[in-house]
Amino acid sequence: MTTRGEGAGLTDPPVGGGGRIPRHRLALLMLGGAGLLLGTYTGLARAGVGHRFVAADLHAVVMVLGFLGTLIALERAVALGRRWGYLAPACSGAAVVTLPFARGVGGVLLLAAGIVVVATYVALLRRGHLDIHLSIMGVGALAWIAAAGLWLAGAGPVRITPMLAAFLVLTIVGERLELSRLTLPTGGSRIGFLVLVGLFVVGVALTPWWRDVGLIVGGVALVGQVAWLLRADVARRTVRRPGLPRFAALCMLGAYGWLAVSGVLWVALGAGAGGALLHDALVHALFLGFVLSMVMGHAPIILPAVLRIPLTFLPVAYVPLALLHASVALRVGADLAGSFGWREVALHGNVAALLLFVAVSVVAARRGRRTGTWVATAVPSTPAAGTEGANPRPSPPAPRTPRSLERTV
């Protein structure tokens, strides 16, 4: 989910309308899309809507590691520019189609994918890009391994939730930390943020043994990270620019609001607050409100670079974004009120927002290829990026500089 940076930027800028999409990347992206569909289906089953073909307890690992994990691993592989890096999205994507029939095999594939992602971060760091944001994202990848390992050992969805959350939160905040350089936070401020990140990691690490303490520590750290990010993130400036910059910034700022809500709920649950649906509120404030809002904001920038296609920003993208936030608000409210009926209504709103977002992205890609226009892309930031171990055909120069991309996101 990163967008640019030393050792973290995507490569292969989009080509014109007649450019060819790399087939292996498209195939891996489609496996991630299959994870979204399966995760949505199992989510409906887990909520008791009536779907029973696939075990409902697969929902968490499929959505986080199968869907989002495949997308993040694919982006990491593109940034690395080595063929072996694609083993990670290949394994997590294969797990999506394996889990419903052989969950043990699927679990091993997810574990292997996490190991390759960690190796990818190590390779990027060894190139000399010793930026702290890459290290934070690498720790997030270790949380992927921990979640997959615990799940293979028989742990249920509730027990591995903190590890799944750590994988996504650390991946995202690491990227936002890197972009926060534009606002020039002081060294002391950055140290404070790293302390909050470390506190969150400690809280998550405590949850398998002292769950209540871990949730309180982790929740306090999440709220602290939100306070720092709201002050330092470049989104506070780009929200005043029209078009894609404003859309992306609103996605970021809205996501931070849900991360704060989730942090408060972590503390409440750890402190012993009651409510049959409190855990559901905690989970979906983070994974839907925070994570998917971030995905919506980054997708118009990530997809052109991964698939090497132009992509036109469409104002209709605000519709699924608004529906996402409204349905998450309804779901969290219904959970806190103990209303199963309104929770089901919100659930269908969540699904509609996701599917509508996918549809808007497809239309934007088709229109971009037809017109040859595009919105933004990252550029190569490492000497070997984009080569994938072969002799690549030279890509046309990116129409924008890294600085203009930074102003976009």
Q: Which domain holds residue 79?
A: 15-130
Indicate whether 31 belongs to any domain: yes
CB atoms within 10 A of CB 30: 12
Torsion of CA 247, 249, 255, 256, to 10 degrees: -160
Residue 262 and residue 288 in contact, taking contact as beta carbons nearer than 8 Å: no
Confidence bin at 185 (pLDDT 50/70/90): low
Residue in the structure block whose two tokens are 């012993």: 272
Indicate whether 135 belongs to any domain: no
Q: What is the pLDDT of residues 276-300, one digit of tens each?
A: 789 999 999 999 999 999 999 988 8
Q: What is the pLDDT of residues 44-64, one digit of tens each?
A: 877 766 656 667 788 899 999
**pLDDT for residue 247:** 94
Residue in the structure block whose two tokens are 């920038």: 301
Q: What is the pLDDT of residues 25-38, one digit of tens each?
A: 989 999 999 999 98
**pLDDT for residue 301:** 80
Indicate whether 39 belongs to any domain: yes
| Rounded percentage of the chain residues whose pLDDT exceeds 70 | 80
List, in order, residues 6 or more apart from 315 with CB less than 8 Å away.
none
List, in order, residues 6 or more apart from 134 with CB less than 8 Å away.
7, 8, 121, 124, 125, 174
**pLDDT for residue 170:** 96
**pLDDT for residue 367:** 81
Indicate whether 361 belongs to any domain: no
Indicate whether 226 belongs to any domain: no
Torsion of CA 329, 235, 256, 181, to 10 degrees: 170
Mean pLDDT throughout 203-222?
A: 96
Q: What is the pLDDT of residues 300-348, one digit of tens each?
A: 888 887 877 777 889 999 999 999 999 999 999 999 998 888 998 999 9
**pLDDT for residue 4:** 39
Mean pLDDT throughout 243-248?
A: 91
Confidence bin at 409 (pLDDT 50/70/90): low
Q: Helices 211-232 & 244-270, crossing angle to 10 degrees?
A: 150
Confidence bin at 235 (pLDDT 50/70/90): confident
Residue in the structure block whose two tokens are 């394996």: 98
Residue in the structure block whose two tokens are 């994974």: 287
Residue 14 has pLDDT above 60, yes or no: no
Residue 19 has pLDDT above 80, yes or no: no
Mean pLDDT throughout 13-41?
A: 78
**pLDDT for residue 352:** 94
**pLDDT for residue 127:** 82
**pLDDT for residue 302:** 80
**pLDDT for residue 174:** 86
Round to whole Å and give the CA distance between 378 and 9.
Answer: 6
**pLDDT for residue 46:** 73
Mean pLDDT throughout 64-73?
A: 95
Indicate whether 147 belongs to any domain: no
**pLDDT for residue 378:** 37
**pLDDT for residue 53:** 64
**pLDDT for residue 187:** 67
| Structural domains counted in the chain | 1
Residue 326 and residue 349 in contact, taking contact as beta carbons nearer than 8 Å: yes
Q: Helices 132-152 & 157-179, crossing angle to 10 degrees?
A: 170
Residue 136 has pLDDT above 90, yes or no: yes
CB atoms within 10 A of CB 327: 23
CB atoms within 10 A of CB 130: 12
Torsion 283-285-286-291 (CA) sign: positive
HEC string for 220-254: HHHHHHHHHHHHHCCHHHHCCCCCHHHHHHHHHHH
Indicate whether 159 belongs to any domain: no
Indicate whether 96 belongs to any domain: yes
The larger pLDDT score, comparing residue 91 to residue 305, is at 91
